[in-house]
Amino acid sequence: MSNYHIKNLEEYYQVYRKSVRNPELFWEEVAEEHFVWKKTWDKVLNYDFSKPEVKWFEGAELNITENCIDRHLATRGDKTAILFEPNNPDEEAEKISYTELHKRVNQFANVLKDNGIKKGDRVCIYLPMIPELAISLLACARIGAIHSVVFAGFSSSALGTRINDCEAKMVITSDGSFRGVKTIDLKGIVDEALEDCTTVETVLVAKRIHSDIPMKEGRDQWLQPLLDKASEECEAEVMKAEDPLFILYTSGSTGSPKGMLHTTAGYMVYTAYTFKNVFNYRENDVYWCTADIGWITGHSYIVYGPLANGATTVMFEGVPSYPDFGRFWQIVEKHKVSQFYTAPTAIRALAKENLEYVDKYDLSSIKVLGTVGEPINEEAWHWYNDNVGKKKNPIVDTWWQTETGGMMISPIPYATPTKPTYATLPLPGVQLALMDEQGNEIHGNQVDGRLCVKFPWPSMARTIWGNHQRYKDTYFSAFSDKYFTGDGALRDEVGYYRITGRVDDVIIVSGHNLGTAPIEDAINEHPAVAESAIVGFPHDIKGNALYGYVILKETGEGRDHNNLRKEINQIITEHIGPIAKLDKIQFTEGLPKTRSGKIMRRILRKIAHNELDNLGDVSTLLNPEVVQSIIDKRLSSELVS
C-alpha cells in the first residue's frame, strides 16, 4: 500500500487509519520518501494546542526551492515548470523550463540580496499574474526572506495596512497589469500606499504594460536591468524546519486583516503530498489552477505544491470572459490541460453563457476537475460535471482555508465516490470533529455542527504575525484543545462532510473572504453616515453578495440616495477594493440591537434573505419597533449599479 495515488475507497480508509493511528510515522514516511533535506529531523511533531504551539520536523534543515527546483534539474531540466498564458490570446505563451526557472530565481534572489534583503526580512509582493510573481516568491524563499503577497486587486489603503503590519522592507510591483480589456496602474497604487509607510526602502518594478510611470529617486528601480546583471548562481539559504516561509493576510470577522504565518518544512510536505494525491498528478500532466497567486490557493497549488512534484503548472494572467467566455476552454484545449482547478463563482458565471463556448473546444485532455473557495451549489456542480467533465471525470470539491495551508477535505479521484455539494472525506492526517454550541463533540453520522480539527497537520498556520494572542483567541479558544475553522458542516449517513458556510461574520463573495467589520468601518467614514451593518444574501453568480443597512446622520438626510450609494461604494473601493462593494444599500433609521448594544445581524440577515416569517423572538431587543420599519423599507431597497 502506498501513501500516494490511492486507488480505491478501501485503500483510502487503510491509509487514513494509518495516518490517525500513528501520525508521526505517517508524515515521517512521506517526508523521507519525497524530499531533499540538508539534515533530517530530530522529532517529527511537538505540539500543545493550549498555547498554541505546533512544530513539525524539528531539527530538520532544508530549502524549499531546492525541493521545488534544483532536485528536478537532473531529470526534468527541460520540462516546463511554469507555463505562462498571457491575458491577450494573440501574445505567445511562455514556457519556463526547470533549468530556466532555476536561473531566473537565482538572479532574482541575488537582486534581493543586492538590495539589502536578508533572511527573515519581509518582502511585500504586489504583482499581476505574470511569471515574475511566481519567481519572486521563490527568490524570497531561496534566501530565507518572508514573502507577503497582496492580491493586486486590493486598494492602496488595504495594501498599506498590510505593508505596515508586517513592516516590509521592500515592495515588488509592476508598471501595471492587463485584465481583459482593462489596464490597471499598479505602481500608482503602490505609490499611494507608501505615503503612509516608513519601513519600505526599495520598490522593484517589473515592466508589463510598458507605460511611462514616475519613479521615485533612491527608492524605485526597474527590475529587468538588475536581473540582467545578476549572477545565475545563488546558494540556497539553510532554513530550519520551522523558519517562516510566508505571511498571507486573510480577513477576520473583526479588526484588521490577520497575517497568517506559514513555516517551511510542514507546509512543503503537506502541499506536495495533497497536490499529488488530490489531483492524481502524473509525470506528463499539465496542471492548471485558475486562482490568483495573491490567494492561498495560488501559493499552495500554483507554486509550491506543483513545483515540489516537478509538475507543469499553468499561470493565467487574464479573466474567464476575455476575449470571450470560451477562454478557459480554449486554454485547456491549447495546452492539453489534465487537471483543472477553479472556483464555484467562475463556474456559475460561465454556466450562464451559451454552451457553445464550451462545446467548441476539445476538452478530452481533462482527467480531474477541482473546485475551491466556497460551497458549490448542486446546479453548478452538475453543469461542471456534464459539460466540462463530460460525466467521466471526477470532481474534487476541496475544502480548506488560508489558515490550513493545504486541502483538508476532498475526494481522492477514482477512489472516493463523489456526491454533489459534498467535500466528502478528510484527507490522510486530518482529524475532524463536529462540535455543538456547548462545546461537546457530536459523534455519529447524520449530524451537523461547528467544524474543528483536533490534531495538528503539517501545513497549519503557526501564528498571526505579531499577534499570537489573537491567533489563540480566534482559533483555539472556542473549543478546548481544538482548532476551530469558523465553518459549519454536516456529516451524512456515510460520514461525508458538506460545508454549510461560515458561522462567524465573514462573508464569502465570489470566493473571497470578507470580514464585515472592516467594510462597516470604511462606510462609517462617509461624512453623512452615522452607523452601518453588513450582511450577506444569496447571489446566483457570486454565491453571496453584500447587503448594507446604513443609518444617516442629520446632514445626510435629504440627500439623493443613489448618489450616496455610489459614494459609499467608492469609499469601500478606496479602503478595501472593488471586491467588497455592496450590491444593495438600504437606508434605515435604526438597527436592531440587543440590550447590551450589539447589532442583531441574525435578524438583518433574515431580512436580506427575505425570510420574513421566521425572524425569531424580537421582543428582547432594545428597539423591537425598528425591525418592522426595516422590513417595510426593504421592499423599496435598490440595487447599486
Residues forming the site for ligand WTA (CB under 6 A): 250, 295-297, 372-375, 397-402, 423, 485-487, 499, 502, 508, 513
Let me know: does 418 contact 392? Beta carbons within 8 Å.
no
Q: Residue 512 Cβ, how far from ligand WTA at the closest point, in Å?
A: 7
Q: Can you tell me the distance from the alpha carbon of 599 to that of 150, in angstroms, rounded to the nearest whole number?
A: 31
Whether 572 contacts 585, CB under 8 Å: no
* Closest CB 486 distance from ligand WTA, rounded Å: 6
Beta bridge partners of 547: 535, 584
Q: Which is nearer to ligand WTA, 290 or 401 (CB)?
A: 401
CB 127 within 8 A of CB 133: yes
Nearer to ligand WTA, 236 or 579 (CB): 579
Residue 588 phi/psi, 5° resolution?
-140, 160
Residue with smaller CB distance to ligand WTA, 203 or 296: 296
Please, what is the minimum distance in Å from the beta carbon of residue 50 to ligand WTA?
23
Min separation Cβ 241 and ligand WTA, Å: 24
Q: Which is nearer to ligand WTA, 55 or 450 (CB)?
A: 450
Minimum CB distance to ligand WTA smaller for 342 or for 401: 401
Strand ranges, E, within 416-478:
432-435, 447-453, 463-464
Closest CB 283 distance from ligand WTA, rounded Å = 26
Instruction: Please identify, using beta-carbon distances, which residue of 297 and 586 lies nearer to ligand WTA.
Output: 297
Q: Is the Cα dihedral 290, 640, 176, 262 positive or negative?
A: negative
CB 125 within 8 A of CB 137: yes
**Residue 135 or 509 with smaller CB distance to ligand WTA:** 509
Rounded least distance, CB 409 to ligand WTA, Å:
7
Cβ contact 429:23 at 8 Å: yes
d(CA 203, CA 208): 15
- Cβ proximity to ligand WTA, 365 vs 377, nearer residue: 377
**213 exposed, middle or buried (CB, 10 Å; 0-12, 13-18, 19+)?**
middle
Does the CA dihedral 17-20-25-27 come out positive or negative? positive
Min separation Cβ 262 and ligand WTA, Å: 12
Q: Which residues contact 392 (CB under 8 A, 6 or more apart)?
A: none
Task: State which residue, 108 or 249, has the beta carbon closest to ligand WTA.
Answer: 249
How distant is the alpha carbon of residue 307 from its chain centre?
A: 18
Nearer to ligand WTA, 193 or 423 (CB): 423
- Nearest-Å Rg of the Cα atoms of the chain is 24
Closest CA to 601 of 546, 543, 525, 530: 546
Closer residue to ligand WTA in complex, CB, 338/398: 398
How many Cβ atoms sit within 10 Å of the Cβ of residue 628? 10
State how far Cα 453 lies from the chain centre. Answer: 19
Shortest Cβ 567–ligand WTA spacing (Å) = 29
CA–CA gap between residue 149 and residue 294 (Å, rounded)? 6
Q: Based on CB atoms, which residue is closest to ligand WTA, 205 or 343?
A: 343
- Give how far Cα 270 sits from Cα of 19, 277, 502, 567, Å: 13, 11, 25, 45
CB of 411 to ligand WTA, least distance (A): 11
CB of 398 to ligand WTA, least distance (A): 5
Calpha distance 178→189 (Å, rounded): 15
Q: What minimum distance in Å lies between the beta carbon of 19 and ligand WTA?
A: 21
**Residue 499 and residue 488 in contact, taking contact as beta carbons nearer than 8 Å:** yes
Question: Is the Cβ of residue 96 or residue 315 nearer to ligand WTA in the bound state?
Answer: 315
CB of 23 to ligand WTA, least distance (A): 22
How far apart are CB 377 and ligand WTA at their closest, in Å? 10
Least Cβ distance, residue 301 to ligand WTA (angstroms): 9
Q: Which helix (H) or strand (E) holds 184?
A: strand 182-184
DSSP labels for 81-150? EEEEE-SSTTSPPEEEEHHHHHHHHHHHHHHHHHTT--TT-EEEE---SSHHHHHHHHHHHHHTPEEEE-
If 0-12 CB within 10 Å is exposed, 13-18 middle and 19+ buried, where does residue 632 land? exposed
For residue 588, the tally of other CB atoms under 10 A from its CB is: 22
Q: Which is nearer to ligand WTA, 96 or 407 (CB)?
A: 407
**In 3-state terms, the chain is what percent helix, strand and coil (to 5)?**
35, 25, 40
